[in-house]
Amino acid sequence: METLEQIKNRAELAARGARIEIIVNPGPSQQSSLLIDNEHALAVATFLRDHAALSFDFCSNVTGVDWLDRTIKHSTKVKQVVDGVEKEVDQITEEKIPGYLEAVYHLYSIKLKHGPLIIRMRTGNRTDAASLPSLTPVWRSAELQEREIFDLYGIHFTGHPDLRRILMWDEFKDHPMRKDYVPPDDFEWEPTPHDQVLTRAKQHYPPRPQLDGAEAITAERKE
């Protein structure tokens, strides 16, 4: 398989105006990825699938990622005069990054037997600009997985053929895989409460009547 840099260059030439960035993964997997701008995502995806030297004809996995607002500290060396002596000191600056959501696609070529190639798209924010173009028209296997991301993360995929909840019911509010999701206190809908769920559910049970010693023993045995 070609390098990410080569694939990036090919895609930018094929989809004029496309903005593609290599996102380096410093972890053990070393699986870096291509961040594709939303406007040209469909054109780039089609190119990756159809180009003879690439032929990424199979999308094996699509997942969502939630990035909350965060602050990154940067340290730079600057020269300052300290007690009459010029010294190099660390100057700390803070960069505030607004939150956003991502959809990440893992691509393989069945025809050429290579991969994975990882591509991603990023929303404008986590609220009113939480939308991305659907890549289901390019890879049909993305259909149900984009629905899952829509359901659990709240990304709206424009152009999806059947965008609706797939795990939670239609009346459910919010998106359970978001990092700031707070589960409700009322677990009436929980069919088999257990562990912490059971403890919280008991807060909504009606108060139990006071029983004498014999009645309490009998009630415990029934439970």
Whether residue 134 contacts residue 146, with contact meaning beta carbons closer than 8 Å, is answered with yes
- The proportion of the chain whose per-residue pLDDT surpasses 90, expressed as a percent, equals 64
pLDDT of the residue at 13: 94
Whether residue 45 contacts residue 57, with contact meaning beta carbons closer than 8 Å, is answered with no
What is the residue-averaged pLDDT of the chain?
A: 88
The string of pLDDT tens digits covering residues 111-138 is: 999 999 999 999 999 999 999 999 999 9
Q: Is the pTM of this model over 0.85?
A: no
The string of pLDDT tens digits covering residues 91-109 is: 888 889 999 999 999 999 9
Can you tell me the mean pLDDT for 10-20?
A: 95
Q: How far apart are the C-alpha atoms of 3 and 23, rounded to whole Å?
A: 13
126: left (phi over 0), alpha (psi -120 to 50) or beta: alpha
Can you tell me the mean pLDDT for 11-32?
A: 92
139 half-sphere exposure, CB direction, 13 A CA radius: 28
Q: How far apart are the C-alpha atoms of 190 and 170, rounded to whole Å?
A: 16
Sketch the domain layout of the chain as residue ranges. 4-66+101-172, 183-223
Number of H helices, E strands in the chain: 5, 9
Q: Give me the residues paired with residue 22 across strands.
A: 34
pLDDT of the residue at 199: 74
Residue 222 has pLDDT above 70, yes or no: no
pLDDT of the residue at 186: 59
pLDDT of the residue at 102: 98
* DSSP 8-state class, residue 146: H
pLDDT of the residue at 27: 83
Can you tell me the mean pLDDT for 75-82?
A: 82
CATH 3.30.360.10 fits 4-66+101-172, yes or no: no
Whether residue 107 contacts residue 117, with contact meaning beta carbons closer than 8 Å, is answered with yes
